[in-house]
Amino acid sequence: MLPEILQQYPVAQALASFDADAIAGGKFDRGELTLEIDAAKIVPVCMRLKTEEKFIRCSDVTALDYYPAEPRFVVVYHLHSLARNERLRLKCRVSGQNAAIDSVTGVWRSANWFEREVFDLFGIQFRHHPDLTRIMMPEGWEGHPLRKDYPVTGNRV
Amino acid sequence: MSDRDTTSLLTPELEPQMDSLNPEPAPRPSRPRQMTLNMGPQHPSTHGVLRVVLELDGENIVSARPDIGYLHTGIEKECEVKTWQQVVTLTDRVDYLSNLANNLVYALTVEKLIGDIEIPSKAQWLRVMMCELSRLNSHLVWLGTHAIDIGAMSVFFYCFREREDILRILEMFSGQRMMTSYIRIGGVALEPPRGWREAVGKFLKQFPSKVDEYDELLENNPIWLNRTKGVGFISLEDMLDLGVTGPMLRGAGLKLDVRKTEPYSSYEKFDFDVPVYTDNDVYSRYRVRLDEMRQSTRIIKQALEGMPEGPWQADAPKIVLPEREKMKTQMEALIYHFKIVTEGFRVPAGEAFQAVESPRGEIAYYIVSNGTTRPYRVFMRTPSFGNLQSLGTLLEGRLLADSIAALGSMDFVLGDVDR
């Protein structure tokens, strides 16, 4: 069911009519629309957004770590529609145990490196990613630096 | 002599290796004669520490795989342990050729998070003027080094001559030539110095004729034209799909400029055009950047002539450091100063995303705050990272000799890629 606060936004309505269960929540804050998407449905939702809603640019993919809360990670997507000059943020909650989510590389090729970066620095697996290897850190590096339990200085725990 | 060993030294295992000695060599199995070439990480034309693994078939590039991360310094991680205002100095070091665009996008994002802070119009105009100066700086470095890559040496000296003038103006305003940290949360760092109008005015008087000079140097140079026209084509569709932004898109006919589509820092009050060319090659990217220099000059001129009077920092005592004089006479100012310097200021919890047009394309920061004096997460969507992703598609099937021109036309900064 679409939350009441989102009903005035055409994008949210269009998504809700496509898949009623896909939107788990959302908000409109500081002029930015955020939709929380069920992590299992991220690929069909993105495909729909690209083909029907004209979000042809995936500006970036990143993640947040809310250690020690559970679900620990939030994967964040920023989309941009050139046709409507509109931006949209998608968020997916991902559990800390075997953190994994489907890759959206098949929808936007630009997600490739951004997902590799999230994999490298947060340790979130992207299923069906064509080349999921470390991109910033050297091969064979232990740990994922942007996790909150990874120290800024000193030895790793 | 008679007990000489007469068995052949050429054992059956060795015989195939002697093919070339045979009058009729056995035909070799036909396989593509591919070769792997490792370009970089210390190659001068990559302008930084970039490694490209090229698969070559003769002179043709079969595939190109960029390998990045050599300059990764963990800036995003470090932002999480600095106070909000301290992060400004880190943003300088991301894209060191257009640091003011980085300062600006960080300041704008944090101001969006704070919400009730009003930036005085003088500060906004100063920000615009300094950003355009740094755009000129970045384009000049690009033009000079790109021309050197292709073989036109003298353009480099011309470009760096004018760059020096810009750096002097930046130093005048902020005390620093490159890592200016001039744009701060709540305004700009310092009041414009004495004599700044004359300095900028003098620069504006000279600069347009210098741009014409570069144009003349290159436009009548047949080598330059042959090496840039029709080279480095990549379809607009591919570029959008791969996350390319900035002059590369505008060289392919797409008029995407954040300054126009989502104006920030009062860019909507300035009169300028977004140059667009449609040939989608190295030459049209060069034309776009050259025209952008002329447009930036126009913007700086308007900023200089119409610079509003008033304060250059917001009236927000909890965020902006008080004036020195007030600190000596007012108790409150002293307390605020002590709090800001020792603890920093708090930013309301929430998240904000802001995009800015840097010389290289769309730079966007996504910042999350949990209500403390330090950012919870600072994500930098840098244009070079997005642009470099298209390198494989750009080089595939092209000639090796063109790869340098194509690489240069992307105009990336490796500090910006690796962060």
C-alpha dihedral sign at B40, A114, B407, A106: positive
Tokens standing for residue A96: 């800390």
Interchain contact, A64 vs B80, CB within 8 Å: no
pLDDT of residue A92 exceeding 80, the answer is yes
Q: Is A74 on the interface with B (CB under 8 A)?
A: no
Give the count of alpha carbons within 13 A of B209, CB side only.
4
Q: How far is CA A39 from CA A107, A131, B353, in A?
A: 15, 21, 22
- Which of A29, A58, A146 minimises the CB distance to B243? A58
Residue B233 CB partners (closer than 8 Å, separation 6+)? B280, B281
Q: Which residues of A touch B379 (CB under 8 A)?
A: 60, 62, 76
Hunting for tokens 């569709």 — which residue is that?
Answer: B237
pLDDT value at residue B31:
59
Interchain contact, A87 vs B386, CB within 8 Å: no
pLDDT digits (tens, 9 = 90+) for B56-99: 888 888 888 888 888 898 899 999 999 998 999 999 888 888 88
Interchain contact, A152 vs B364, CB within 8 Å: no
- Which of B240, B243, B350 minimises the CB distance to A29? B350
- Which of A78, A121, A150 minimises the CB distance to B366? A78
Count of CB atoms situated within 10 Å of the CB of B50? 25
Angle at A59 between CA B255 and CA B264, to 5 degrees: 60
Q: Of B124, B138, B201, whose CA–CA distance to B167 is shortest?
A: B138
B210, amino acid identity: K
pLDDT value at residue B29:
53
Residue B131 burial (10 A CB sphere; 0-12, 13-18, 19+): buried
State the Cα–Cα distance between residues B185 and B67, nearest whole angstrom: 35
The ipTM (two decimal places) reads: 0.92
pLDDT value at residue B169:
93
Tokens standing for residue B374: 């330090």
pLDDT of residue A157 exceeding 70, the answer is no
State the Cα–Cα distance between residues B104 and B181, nearest whole angstrom: 9
Element (H, E) at A59: strand A57-65
* Residue in chain B lying closest to A62 (CA): B379
* Residue in chain A lying closest to B258 (CA): A85
- Angle, nearest 10°, between helix axes B282-305 and B196-219? 160
How far is CA B209 from its chain centroid? 25
Q: Of A44, A61, A78, A36, whose CA–CA distance to A126 is shortest?
A: A61
Alpha helices in B26-120 (DSSP H): 75-79, 87-92, 99-114
pLDDT of residue A156 exceeding 80, the answer is no
pLDDT value at residue B19:
59
Q: Is A32 on the interface with B (CB under 8 A)?
A: yes
A and B: number of Cβ contacts within 8 A: 85
Tokens standing for residue A69: 């809360």
Q: Which residues of A touch B243 (CB under 8 A)?
A: 57-60, 108-110, 114
Q: Which residues of A touch B362 (CB under 8 A)?
A: 59
Question: Nearest CA of chain A to the CA of B309: how many Å?
Answer: 29
pLDDT digits (tens, 9 = 90+) for B323-361: 888 888 989 999 999 988 898 888 999 999 999 999 999
How far is CA B385 from its chain centroid? 9
Q: Which residues of B touch A64 (CB under 8 A)?
A: 368, 376-377
Per-residue pLDDT of chain B (419 residues; tens, 9 = 90+): 557 776 767 677 776 666 555 555 555 555 567 888 888 787 777 777 888 888 888 888 888 888 888 889 889 999 999 999 899 999 988 888 888 999 999 999 999 999 888 899 999 999 999 999 999 999 999 999 998 888 888 889 999 999 999 999 999 999 888 888 899 998 898 888 988 999 999 999 999 999 998 988 888 888 888 888 888 888 888 888 898 998 998 998 888 889 988 898 889 899 999 999 988 889 999 999 999 999 999 999 999 998 888 888 888 888 888 888 888 898 999 999 998 889 888 899 999 999 999 999 999 999 999 989 999 999 999 999 989 999 888 888 888 888 888 888 888 888 888 88
pLDDT value at residue B312:
87
* Residue in chain B lying closest to A134 (CA): B69
Alpha helices in B175-267 (DSSP H): 196-219, 222-228, 236-242, 247-250, 258-261
Hunting for tokens 């340098």 — which residue is that?
Answer: B404
Tokens standing for residue B237: 């569709």
CATH architecture of A4-103: 2-Layer Sandwich (3.30)
Interchain contact, B74 vs A87, CB within 8 Å: no
Give the three-state DSSP class for B388.
Answer: helix
* Residue in chain A lying closest to B243 (CA): A110
Residue A84 CB partners (closer than 8 Å, separation 6+)? A54
Q: For chain A, which residues make up each domain, given as ranges? A: 4-103
State the Cα–Cα distance between residues B239 and B248, nearest whole angstrom: 8
Q: How far is CA B378 from CA A29, A65, B81, in A?
A: 18, 12, 11
Tokens standing for residue A32: 């930015």
Count of CB atoms situated within 10 Å of the CB of A82? 15
Instruction: Report chain B residues touching chain A, CB-CB < 8 A.
Output: 68-69, 72, 74, 76-78, 80-81, 112-113, 115, 240-243, 254, 256, 261-262, 350-353, 355, 362, 364, 366, 368, 376-377, 379, 381, 385-386, 389, 418-419
Concatenated DSSP letters of B152-201: --HHHHHHHHHHHHHHHHHHHHHS-SS----EETTEESSPPPTTHHHHHH
In CATH terms, the superfamily for domain B65-115+118-315+348-418 is: Cytochrome-c3 Hydrogenase, chain B (1.10.645.10)
Give the count of alpha carbons within 13 A of A8, CB side only.
4
pLDDT digits (tens, 9 = 90+) for A41-90: 899 889 888 888 888 889 999 999 998 888 899 999 999 988 888 899 99
Q: For chain B, which residues make up each domain, given as ranges? A: 65-115+118-315+348-418
Window A:82-121, CB contacts with B under 8 Å: 82, 85, 87, 89, 108-110, 112-114, 121
- Average pLDDT on A113-134 reads 91
- Average pLDDT on A5-31 reads 82
